[in-house]
Structure 1
């Protein structure tokens, strides 16, 4: 059942839906009495709240949300996007609420609201996907909210078998950390994202603060378990995070510049490798910083394979022509070499 432009609590007070499994309250829906919603639902499997603060007292408090969630123990899918200006009661006695059937949960709102709701929910280890998004925040706010969630979910609530993957997407207006593991699909193994933590960035955050935020977020992850690393970020951040990830075997970088010192340690790292255990490297939307010069990539591959180390290299949608000679030299150095979505070769 989806309700639009009505007082949902008044509607449900007059009607009984003992078998209601799906409830979607969207923008324009008014709720004047959240306990009524909670008292008239007990069999929900899907709940979506995407209300807006439009001047009507429709937004629930954290205790009211917890009461609604607690009344519906069979919830599998939960979407809550109404926490932008929610009322918070710091010392609410409610919680933790067991969510034994939960498979997917998405929470979006202000950083304090997201944190106060999440810490009162007991999510199962078997949850398929957790998606958290917070409003514009500074580094400390992000670490106090998403950092704690990352640490709790990845270090304490899930068990890994040496297959944890981390992607970090560092863009100008938001930062996103994705966690994945491996799953069997048809006749092959593939990566499955099971958690996404995203924060919109305050406009006054400078570059040094941004880099430190990336490092601090990664420190919340059980880095010794991470074997897959990827995302969209500048090379400086890649290098800083690589030093925190000792067991990486697979790397997938997006929108990356090929320049002098590409994927090479900075000064002090002579004769060392950024990813010493690397087996598979994928570069997507890669482009040379100096027009037409792919030589730094060839130099990196030569350095990575210098002691007989076998790696596979995949290049997806490179920008600009790659010299045939360079391609031949790279192909001769690696065990497997693939180039796709490219013209002019």
Structure 2
């Protein structure tokens, strides 16, 4: 794994996070309102100290269903207090009392019927509340850095949890590409890790050059809040205005087979950043797996960003992120933060 550069200068603090699970709170932002009818029971669950798969298994046992009968929009970390939706397929619309699920780890906050299964990725984003403790650093400089992030945004890194313990998913992906057999679920995880590693290398090159949030010749643009892309096209005042108001973002490649969409300087930078031997092996493996070329925004701007000092060495941060974005990207721009409870998550 390459060390990720900082977009705003030298680190300003050292700190700890998740001394207790309540120091890392995540609330899933739903993408739709329940229909109130149908054969899928939507449960809004607050969990503490339990991962999403574990809770889904508990719900399946409660409903008397196989695990495939329970769905969720995104994974949430174990070492945290998180709120998220699950859907339970009950075609006869007969369900046990949701209160029977409640224990020290799980609390059902709401239950209602819906006419469709909850699909992966069916969320508008996540709202975070993080508490950093044992902070060493100048509070005034930290305040200024957070204000800068709120105005300018920050690089849209894939978080370290995408790469597994000690970054082991990328070496495992290389082994898989060289013929090692993997289970289907492992294969999907390792393909994602390989793609994410290549994207981070491209983004690192643009951060180092200072153009992660500006235009290069041959740029491909991504619409904010969407996976839709357009370009390349000639730079114009209209594009400059849209970039300034965060309607569009520069993008980088999620590698796969097919022609790279970017051209000119953008394509040269992208290919140059992932031309080392390991990257070439990852690229070939992703192409052989028949993944298609896709794009991801290079820039992220947290919404509703606020912070307050609870004590001279304790800082509370709150913000919302789109799906697939990582709270660790915000923390990275502040300085080294020791995760006492484990690695954080994003959907």
Pairwise same-fold verdict (TM > 0.5): no
Please identify which structure carries the higher helix content: 2
Which is higher, the Rg of structure 1 or of structure 2?
A: 1
Return the TM-score normalized by structure 1.
0.25
Return the TM-score normalized by structure 2.
0.24
Higher RCO (C-alpha 8 Å, min separation 6): 2
